[in-house]
A and B are shown apart, each in its own frame.
Chain A
Amino acid sequence: MRQQFARISPHSLRLLALLLALLATILFFASQIDGYLSPRMFNRITTSAAVVLPVAVGQAIVIMTRNIDLSVGSIMGVVAYMTGQMLAVLPELHPVLVVLACLGLGAVAGAINGVLIAWGRVPSIIVTLGTLALFRSFLVEWSDAKTITTASLPAWLVELPSAVAFSVGALDIRVTVVIALAACLLMGLILARFRPARRLYAIGSNPDAARMAGINAPLVTFLAFVACGALAGLSGFIFLAKFGNITVVAGLGFELKSIAAVVVGGVSIMGGSGSMLGVLMGALLVDTIDNSLTRWAVVSEFWRDALLGMLIMAAVTVDTLANRSLERLRAAKGGEQ
């Protein structure tokens, strides 16, 4: 029994723990809130998680390379706003082109980060702390205090958040959820099956060794930031569709929300590990707690941020302690041989 337990990889163990945490959270709130296990609540949580999932996937890629991107919230805001503006002028634009424009705009912002970090050799935390402010002030200047409203958006975009892709029993899966899941799945497949993508892990787990193995570390880092920017752009698109009314504060705080989903999802902040399945569950767990707290009568909704902070801290602490005891276990085994 013990041996079988040891045979499960630490990663699967972590995913299992996440799944249990998610189930426990749902069961807890189901016992607290009347009518919690309803298709409506399911929609509320999944559509909310759909906004954060793409940007969390991007954040995960960056964190795997032992970097961080604090500017993603500002990128989302810029993309949502400028796309809304573009659609007011060109309402006939094909939806696929709109999504591509969002990805492209985000990628440009990500490329700015990437160049400074990869070739300018400025630490990512400094660059993205700076661009967090820069992109946002660009948006404020650009917008000229005007707001994008649903009235100026084409009908297909306004209807997109309530469009149903397919139904499983009584549960509807919305189109935005499918888009977000597709982005997550695609990135997961690339990371697992596409050999060059493994370089992301190599750089994150040991930058020096990666360099000696002939990996072009600056290029890979640059591409990670471009991908992160593009995915933040996709989140910006879903944000625009979901809310319709976009002001200059759009996307504010999403840098923290995405990091929360990533860290809770078991991606090590020290780089070199993590999976997209984990990020998906992390995003779901964070949004389940977020959306359920607003309905829970016992604590006021003002507790959301405080609990989110504690949740991240708890996840990281458990992760660190678990990893350390695992290392000790491995070291002990090595001693026996």
Chain B
Amino acid sequence: MALLEVSDLKTHFFTREGVVRAVDGISFSVERGRTLGIVGESGCGKSVTALSIMGLIPKPPAKIVGGSVLFEGRELTTLPEKELEDLRGREIAMIFQDPMTSLNPTLKIGTQITETIRRHYDVSTQDARKKAIELLEEVRIPRAVDRLDDYPHRFSGGMRQRVMIAIALSCDPKLLIADEPTTALDVTVQASVLDLLDDLRREHDMAMIIITHDMGVVAEAADDILVMYAGQVVEQAPVLELFDHPEHPYTEALLGALPQIEGEGIRQGRLTAIPGRPPDLINPPPACRFAPRCPYASANDACAEHMPELREIRSGHFVRSAHPASERAGARRPTGVGA
């Protein structure tokens, strides 16, 4: 049994303008000890997916209108709030993009860590404090004992994200969801935070979901990758398979749109831009959601009439497109791949 199993999850926002189908029938699973990368551009539904798993979507206007989230076989979407609260932090922890706003500026760092520990475990203040020091040391914050009595504003962005990670680890969760954990950080700080997360995941034997817009971040951090577009999963595969043989025209386009740091003719060359922009999720295209921007769609009317199914094109590699790379005219079938 997978640690987390999401099936056909639908989270919609009921707004005055209409129903926004932010997450529209997505399925995936996370195995123990593995890292799943969810990648996509703004508005594709990747963060709403995470918040839906955690039961943290704002209700109203949002509502989970269908599907299920099974964590160790327990259904989370119907769990009473009280039980969800016990589970959050203890079994599933989450860190957010912006370490500046996720910490309370009026409370000392130590207070914020010990409060989580004492919420879930019956320990003395003294023991909780001892544990907090260990945690700060574990996330490699220098002079942990002294830093416990500092307020968040005394910490840099990278150090604050480390504090958030310490809080997330305080109850030894089985699953850590990291939503754009390094987006607000400078590139050298990002590297050290990603290295830290990698080490901690091994040491604590956690599973992790890392949500990001950055193909480079998933390339380094994830075992499996889910590409999202307009509220749906458009491609899913193990990391090497996805980067070696991207199938969906959107995944291919995303990779082509990325500027490279090494190679020939970079300065003279042009990037492969994707024309247009993602669809409005109140009135998404009736069939394939990528069709209006897809370079292969015009050749085939099917794209405008039928929503393509997410199908397994090779073992462990799923794609939702009528025109995957390996089925186009003149395509070379990748060889020597398998699960």
Answer whether A and B are interacting partners: no
- B residues contacting A by CB (< 8 A) are none
Binding site for B on A (CB under 8 A): none
